Structure 1
Amino acid sequence: MVDVKTVLLNYKIGGNISIKKINSGRTSQVYQIISNEKTWILRTLRDETQGLLEFEITNHIREKAKGIVPRIICTKEGHPFVKAGSDLYQLQEYIPGQTPPRNKEVHSIIGKVTGQFHSAMESFESNRNQRDRFHLMELWEMAQEKWESLRKYSPDIVPNLQDMESKIDELAIVSEHQPHFIHGDLGTWNMLFDHEGIRIIDFGESRKGHFYFDLATAITSSIPEACDRRTQQQSVFDVLKGYETHREKIETDRLYTYIELWIYRGVLATLAYTNTAEQAVSHFVLLKQMENLLKK
């Protein structure tokens, strides 16, 4: 096991260092680092491609849209991460804040920040790319044998196997349209909100894709659940209007297709990795909700 204090010797971050582990996920360990100079975040990376691509993307965004992403700190030798045994570590600025609350003012800011991010990324280019770890067809292969059981659990909302196969084929074609680099996981769980606005964090899933995929994720994760349809519709409107202050007018039907892509991925990932029928069905409930908000 790597000693985190040994990793930190590669950085100029001051003394009197304290270390607190704040997250342990399937693919990353995250630590809060406090020194006599500042607070930082140290996280593990999957591989060098992730580390280099994240560094390129965040530097590009910081030049084009200041203040919406944290800075990645280079080592004393100028490297964007540290190799320690078989592990890779990345140090970045600590950004205080919380997950954005689901209210009118914040929905507009979510749209604006997402639009700023996409405007910046339109000119970004890299020879690197990451594979989609939740590729639709791969998820379908893993979840297909569990489909009939899910349909029995909720036959009124879960499509039959034949209809599902047709939808997967349709969305697989959509997912292959990849004109730009995207965040890849731009839900509110990867946004931090405070009095200065919203910052976007964790570019670990960044890859080539379509901007509407990010926007679909931002919308579906930010819409309030326990409220009336009119309030929810206004929330979607506020996100889209905020987005359009930095981008072109939204093609609603096309956006809905990417909402379908995001939600169907969620259904299949739930079946593939947790096999939780109730949670999988909740994705279909959300999809119906989004259809009512965007297409009626």
Structure 2
Amino acid sequence: MEKNYEKVHLVMGVNIHITLNELQELFPSYNFVNIEATKDGVIDTTYIVTNTQTSYILKHFDRDISSKIQTDKELLTLLKDAELNVPEYIDEKKGWYLFSILKGSSPKVIQLYHIQALARFMAKYHAQTTKINSSTDFIDNYPIKEILSYTKKYFYRHYKELENLQNYSLKTDGFIHGDIFKDNTIFDGEKIGVFDFIDGGSGEFAFDIAVALISFNPKNKSLFTNAFLRTYNQTAPKKLTLDELQAKEPSARQLYALLRIERYKNTQRANELLKIC
């Protein structure tokens, strides 16, 4: 019998509500005993579900992105085969997807070894994604012109700061994540795990790294940036210079500032990226 999952609006990572009984009916062989709504996952519904043996991530993609879901599944398989620490696709029923859960926690203070682990991951990730032909450019995931129009109407000062994104584009080096902020990573000691690849697309590796370092190195410490580049360039598919990286930082900051304005309908969190006084 088809279930009509109730649409709810919660200040957490859940837009579509599912009960434990409904979950058990969908995935009877897993013997789930608990379901917990997350406080993250702003765009898509995300739960942690548990049986007596292990926990899983349960996701419902609250958008019409069937082609991106297929690309995501193929990408995760490719990365797992390359021994990168990413979630594993487990199962799917009626629009609900089960993924393995990564072990670890988010560091409160970023240390040099976190930067080096991030660099090793991204070098290996980029080496793998040069093989992927994506029909989606990363920048096309976002309706930039529409968001700029909204920003112009309600936050004109910030619009003037961001209007150069109107026709922004990226070269294609491979499939980039584009959103490796700290909240899309986890650390188990010195081992990094990365998740939420669903909104990736074709783009430049320098931009991918610039986004990551905005989050991992917000004060732009030269020690961290140089350590990242030294580590990354040891195994990266192509070496990256400091000038190339710094050239991408302003647009990376501007894009995510714009997205924060659209998401939160204010400029407070955008200012963190733009450093507007």
TM-score scaled to structure 2, two decimals? 0.80
Answer whether contact 1:51 1:90 (CA < 8 A) is retained: no
Gaps of 5+ in 2: 1-5, 7-17
Counterpart position of 1:158? none
Counterpart position of 1:211? 205
* 1:252 maps to amino acid: L
What is the DSSP-based 3-state SS (H/G/I as helix, E as strand, rest coil) of the residue aligned with 2:275? helix
Answer whether contact 2:181 2:211 (CA < 8 A) is retained: yes
TM-score scaled to structure 1, two decimals? 0.75
Answer whether contact 1:139 1:272 (CA < 8 A) is retained: yes
C-alpha separation in 2, matches of 1:242 and 1:12:
45
- 1:33 corresponds to 2:22: no
Counterpart position of 1:168? 165
Counterpart position of 1:154? none
- 1:256 corresponds to 2:256: no
C-alpha separation in 2, matches of 1:282 and 1:119:
32
Q: 2:122 aligns with which of 114, 121, 133?
A: 114
Q: 1:236 aligns with which of 218, 225, 234?
A: 225
Question: Which structure 2 residues correspond to residues 70-109 of structure 1 after superposition, within 5 A?
Answer: 70-74=87-91, 81-83=92-94, 88-100=95-107, 101-109=109-117
* 1:30 maps to amino acid: T
Instruction: State percent identity of aligned pairs.
Output: 19
Answer whether contact 2:114 2:190 (CA < 8 A) is retained: no
Report which stretch shifted further, 118-127 or 188-197.
Answer: 118-127
C-alpha separation in 2, matches of 1:129 and 1:12:
38
Cα distance change on mapping 1:60 and 1:20 into 2, 3 Å: same
What displacement does 1:117 show? 0.9
C-alpha separation in 1, matches of 2:243 and 2:127:
21
Q: How many residues align structurally?
A: 257
Q: Name which one, 1 or 2, has greater alpha-carbon Rg.
A: 1
Gaps of 5+ in 1: 75-80, 152-160, 289-296
C-alpha separation in 1, matches of 2:224 and 2:136:
36
What is the DSSP-based 3-state SS (H/G/I as helix, E as strand, rest coil) of the residue aligned with 2:230? helix
* 1:20 maps to amino acid: E
Counterpart position of 2:234? 245
C-alpha separation in 2, matches of 1:120 and 1:12:
36
C-alpha separation in 2, matches of 1:28 and 1:102:
27
Provide, for residues 108-137 of structure 1, a one-character-per-residue CA deviation record: whole Å limited to 9, x for no partner: 111111111111111123567777343443
C-alpha separation in 1, matches of 2:227 and 2:28:
42
Answer whether contact 1:69 1:200 (CA < 8 A) is retained: yes
* 2:93 maps to amino acid: V
What displacement does 1:93 show? 0.6
Does 1 or 2 have the higher relative contact order (CA < 8 Å, sep 6+)? 1
What displacement does 1:25 show? 4.4
- 1:285 corresponds to 2:275: yes
What is the DSSP-based 3-state SS (H/G/I as helix, E as strand, rest coil) of the residue aligned with 1:279? helix
Answer whether contact 2:175 2:201 (CA < 8 A) is retained: yes
C-alpha separation in 2, matches of 1:128 and 1:7:
32
C-alpha separation in 1, matches of 2:178 and 2:24:
29
